[in-house]
Structures are given as C-alpha cells and as structure tokens.
C-alpha cells in the first residue's frame, strides 16, 4: 500500500531517558474505536520526536491492552493505527512507581517499563468518561485532558446541561428519561402519555439521544408522536438514560478550548468553526459513512459580536464543567432568534489532522505539533500541582 510503510518514517525513537515517555492509549472498548485509530495515527505522527518517546498501547474491542511497537505499526494503513492483538499484553497497575516514573507491567508479574504521561486518544464511554482517567489517578501517572470529574460530567449530556444551566447559560429544553420509567410508560399506554407531554412541552421535531454516547450513535430526529416509541427503544439500547430534546433549527458552531499553562489565567479559546451537515442532521452516516456528509468551515461566518459571544460562552462552559487541559465546546446558533445554546462538550475531541479541534487551533495560531506539546505540558503541570497535596490530616 503506497506510503503505508512511511507512516512512521519521521519518527525516531530516541534512547535518551531525558525524553518524556508518552503512553498513547488508542482503540478502546467503545463505539468510537475506529475514530480513535485515526486520531492516534495523527497524534503519533505529530508528537515532537525531540521531546517525546512514544509507547503505543492499543486497546482492543474486548478491552485487552497490548504493547504495540512502532516497527510493527509501520505495516499499518497510513490513516489508521491498527491494534495488534498478538502484541504483548500490558497493564497499568495501581501505584507501583519507582518514585520517579509510573510503571507499565508486561503481564502479571512481568517486566516493567517506565512512563511519564498517558495520552488517551480515545473517545466515548470507558475512554473519555473518567474510567481511564481514574485508572491513571490510581497509577499516579499524569494524563492529558480533563480529570475524572469533568470527563464523567462531560460524557453525561444531562448532567453537563444541568451544570451549564446552573451557570446561567442557555440550553435547549429537554426531558431526561430513565429506562424503568420508559418501561412503565410503554406498558401503560404504549407511550401515548409521554408523546403527548412532548408535544405540549417540547414540540416536534424532537431529538432523542442516549445520555452517554458520541458520534450520533442512537440519536433520532423524531417528527411526530408516532415515531417517539421506536426512537426511544433504539436509544435505550445504548444507555439507561435518554434525553428527549426540543429540536432547534440551528447552525452548529464549535470552539476549541485549551487550558492556560498558568492555570490561574483564563483558558484560551479558538476562533469558532462551523459544521454544516448535508443530511437531515449531523448523524452517524453524515459523520462517518458519507464523505460529503458535512462541510466544515473555519472560521464560521459570524459577525464580531457573535464570535465574541460564542467565545465567552465556550470559556464559561469549560470552567463551569471543571475542565482541565482541553475540550471542544459545541453550540447551536438558533437561526430564528440568533441565540446561542450549549449543546455538548467533548473532553477528548477527534484528533485526526482533519478534525475540528486541531484545525481550529491551527487557524488560531497553534500548530498541531505545538498543540500536542502543550497538552502534555499541561498534564505534567497538573500532576505537579496536585503532588504537594496531603492525603492525610495535618496539624496546622
Ligand atoms: N436539540 C437538537 N436540535 C437540533 N439538532 C440536534 C439537536 N440535538 C442534536 N442534534 C443533531 O444531532 C447531532 C448529534 O447530537 P449531539 O448531541 O451532538 O450528540 P453526539 O455526542 O453524538 O455528537 C448534532 O450535531 C445535531 O446535528
Ligand atoms: Mg456532537
């Protein structure tokens, strides 16, 4: 395959122990496994070889961790990093560091390898929702991106909206529904009561979406009461909590946020970008199956006042959700009222070279390589900040 052997041609793996050892986690047990393989290929290709030694760890769809090596990967397709399931199994045990570095273990009782920082390049539940972040906390290893709290909150569209609304920012009206309630409603009157409530309080079209998901998996645009039950049944295949939202006729505006290296300073916010889906909405098909599924515009065509409003909202949302490191904030701009609404936040946004997050930074003056370096510096700085904290009661 043309160029496939070249993918890591420019990556020299320096031997010096001064280089920061970055464990790049990719793949993962989530519906966004494939996207992660593409994000990881770009991240690995763009990490500064002068500063970093890369330790690629592929997580297969069953959750198994494998210590891949770049030489094996040189046979992979250029745009996507494969997870080699026959590569040695590896684990990140609770704190077992040597005082300086956290250690990866090659199998139970196996050989250990030091790592300085974890870069989780994975999306969706179990990858982006605080689970991996919690594992890194237990292992006492710095990691890129928001901490456990913001990762979990950012994944849960219901809780994220509640916190953003509590900060006084606009959200689209919605109902959050648990599965046992839906089971009861469906049993009682085939969901007619709920459909009526939606008609009265939200109106149609409405959007039905699993609370914890991504990539538009399980999302439905529901045009009438008759379609509601089927949409809910499908969404409940993915989560035990589902949102029913008022559908808005809106432009989709996205902003990249990056923590300031002086953590007391305001986070940096990129110029806004826009996604214009050519489908009914920005569905899974539009995102991944149709290469003309959406146009991406950077910058978004907004006037200076709108740009300023969007940026200030993104900054506030990042802080309201206790984010650290990075996040992509997605807003709706109502075509009729001109009002911005918070839609969702992505704490590990897509990282392919054509993804919105790195492209927004590139257009705002921070190139891809520089962005990756900053993210790792931020992870190390946060770990350092927390290191001095006592875990025990101290006499004053
Ligand atoms: N309330 C809504 N009104 C209009 N369109 C919506 C609404 N909610 C979601 N959508 C459409 O569905 C897409 C995916 O929804 P989103 O909440 O961003 O979930 P995901 O995390 O899967 O990206 C959006 O990009 C948008 O096109
Ligand atoms: Mg989205």
For the CA of 249, the nearest atom of ligand 1: 4
Query: Does 52 contact ligand 1 (Cβ within 6 A)?
Result: no
> In the structure, what pLDDT confidence band is assigned to residue 2 with cuts at 50, 70 and 90?
very low
Q: C-alpha angle 375/32/362, rounded to 5°?
A: 35
* From 216, 255, 339, 345, mutation site for ligand 1 pocket: most ligand atoms within 8 A of C-beta: 216
Helix H or strand E segment including 229? helix 225-235
Lowest mean per-residue pLDDT among 27-41, 199-213, 300-314: 27-41
Strand partners, 356: none
pLDDT at 365: 97
pLDDT at 249: 97
**Beta carbons of 253 and 366 less than 8 angstroms apart:** no
Among residues 277, 240, 103, 243, the alpha carbon closest in space to that of 171 is found at: 243
The per-residue b/e assignment along 314-326, b for 16 or more CB within 10 angstroms, e otherwise, is bbbbbebbebbbb
Give Cα 180 to chain centroid, integer Å: 28
Considering every ligand atom shown, identify the ligand nearest to the alpha carbon of residue 282 and give its number: 1
pLDDT at 390: 86
Q: C-alpha angle 170/173/177, rounded to 5°?
A: 130
> In the structure, what pLDDT confidence band is assigned to residue 188 with cuts at 50, 70 and 90?
confident
Query: Does 8 contact ligand 1 (Cβ within 6 A)?
Result: no
| CA 64/CA 29 separation, integer angstroms | 9
Strand positions, DSSP E, 150-293:
174-178, 206-210, 220-222, 241-246, 250-258, 268-269, 273-277
| CA 197/CA 57 separation, integer angstroms | 48
pLDDT at 291: 87
| CA 141/CA 384 separation, integer angstroms | 10
For the CA of 216, the nearest atom of ligand 1: 22
Query: Does 216 contact ligand 1 (Cβ within 6 A)?
Result: yes
**Beta carbons of 65 and 59 less than 8 angstroms apart:** yes
Ligand 1 atom 8 nearest Cα = 207
> Is 41's pLDDT higher than 90?
yes
Domains of the chain, each with CATH number or no CATH: 4-143 (3.40.50.20), 154-170+249-386 (3.30.470.20), 174-246 (3.30.1490.20)
> In the structure, what pLDDT confidence band is assigned to residue 16 with cuts at 50, 70 and 90?
low
What's the whole-number mean pLDDT along residues 10-18? Answer: 53
| CA 152/CA 157 separation, integer angstroms | 10
Q: How far, in Å, from the CA of 330 to the mean position of ligand 2? A: 7
Lowest mean per-residue pLDDT among 61-75, 124-138, 237-251, 371-385: 61-75
* From 160, 251, 252, 281, mutation site for ligand 1 pocket: most ligand atoms within 8 A of C-beta: 281
Sign of CA dihedral 232, 238, 240, 241: negative
What's the whole-number mean pLDDT along residues 147-156? Answer: 98
Lowest mean per-residue pLDDT among 159-163, 182-186, 350-354: 350-354
> In the structure, what pLDDT confidence band is assigned to residue 106 with cuts at 50, 70 and 90?
low
Structure token pair of residue 50? 């002068």
> Is 308's pLDDT higher than 60?
yes
What's the whole-number mean pLDDT along residues 344-362? Answer: 95
For the CA of 286, the nearest atom of ligand 1: 27
69-85 pLDDT, tens per residue? Answer: 777 666 544 688 889 88
Q: Report the largest interatomic distance among the alpha carbons of the chain, rounded to a whole angstrom.
A: 68
What's the whole-number mean pLDDT along residues 357-378? Answer: 97
Query: In whole angstroms, how large is the CA radius of gyration of the chain?
Result: 22
What's the whole-number mean pLDDT along residues 381-386? Answer: 92
What's the whole-number mean pLDDT along residues 82-96? Answer: 85
Strand partners, 1: none
pLDDT at 331: 98
Using DSSP's 3-state secondary structure scheme, residue 298 falls into: coil
What's the whole-number mean pLDDT along residues 289-301? Answer: 94
What's the whole-number mean pLDDT along residues 273-279? Answer: 96
Asked whether the bond before 388 is cis by omega within 30 degrees of 0, the reply is no
Structure token pair of residue 209? 């979406």
pLDDT at 5: 36
Query: Does 239 contact ligand 1 (Cβ within 6 A)?
Result: no
pLDDT at 65: 94
> Is 49's pLDDT higher than 60?
yes
Considering every ligand atom shown, identify the ligand nearest to the alpha carbon of residue 275 and give its number: 1
More confident residue, 114 or 168: 168
> Is 312's pLDDT higher than 60?
yes
Among residues 14, 2, 95, 10, the alpha carbon closest in space to that of 55 is found at: 14
Lowest mean per-residue pLDDT among 82-91, 166-175, 215-224, 233-242: 82-91
| CA 256/CA 234 separation, integer angstroms | 31
DSSP per-residue codes, 237-274 = TT-SEEEEEE---EEEEEEEEE--SSTTSPPEE---EE
pLDDT at 17: 57
pLDDT at 100: 64
Strand partners, 114: 103
Q: What mean pLDDT, rounded, does the chain reach?
A: 90
């Amino acid at each position: 395959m043309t160029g496939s052997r070249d993918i890591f041609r420019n990556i020299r793996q320096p031997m010096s122990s001064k280089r920061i050892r970055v464990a790049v986690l990719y793949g993962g047990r989530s519906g966004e496994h494939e996207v992660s393989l593409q994000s990881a290929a770009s991240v690995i290709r763009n990490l500064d070889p002068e500063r970093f030694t890369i330790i690629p760890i592929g997580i297969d769809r069953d959750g198994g961790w494998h210590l891949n090596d770049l030489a094996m990967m040189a046979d992979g397709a250029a745009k996507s990093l494969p997870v080699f399931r026959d590569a040695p199994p590896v684990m990140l045990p609770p704190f077992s560091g040597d005082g300086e570095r956290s250690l990866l273990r090659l199998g139970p009782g196996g050989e250990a390898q030091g790592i300085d920082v974890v870069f989780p390049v994975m999306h969706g539940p179990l990858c982006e929702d605080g689970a991996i972040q919690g594992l890194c906390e237990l292992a006492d290893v710095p990691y890129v991106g928001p901490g456990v709290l913001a990762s979990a909150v950012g994944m849960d569209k219901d809780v994220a909206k509640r916190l953003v609304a509590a900060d006084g920012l606009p959200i689209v009206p919605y109902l959050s529904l648990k599965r046992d309630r839906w089971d009861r409603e469906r049993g009682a009157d085939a969901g007619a009561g709920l459909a009526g409530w939606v008609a009265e309080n939200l109106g149609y079209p409405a959007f039905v979406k699993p609370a914890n998901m991504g990539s538009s998996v399980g999302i439905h645009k529901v045009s009438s009461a008759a379609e509601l039950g089927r949409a809910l049944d499908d969404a409940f295949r993915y989560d035990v909590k589902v949102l029913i939202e008022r559908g808005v006729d809106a432009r989709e505006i996205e902003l990249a946020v990056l923590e300031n290296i002086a953590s007391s300073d305001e986070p940096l916010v990129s110029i806004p970008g826009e996604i214009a889906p050519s489908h009914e909405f920005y569905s899974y098909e539009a995102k991944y199956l149709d290469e003309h599924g959406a146009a991406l515009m950077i910058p978004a065509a907004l006037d200076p006042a709108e740009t300023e409003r969007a940026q200030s909202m993104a900054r506030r949302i990042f802080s309201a959700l206790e984010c650290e490191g990075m996040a992509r904030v997605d807003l709706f701009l109502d075509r009729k009222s001109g009002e911005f609404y918070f839609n969702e936040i992505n704490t590990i946004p897509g990282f392919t070279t054509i993804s919105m997050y790195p492209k927004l930074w590139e257009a705002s003056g921070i190139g891809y390589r520089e962005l990756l370096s900053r993210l790792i510096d931020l992870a190390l700085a946060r770990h350092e900040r927390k290191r001095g904290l006592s875990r025990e009661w101290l006499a004053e």
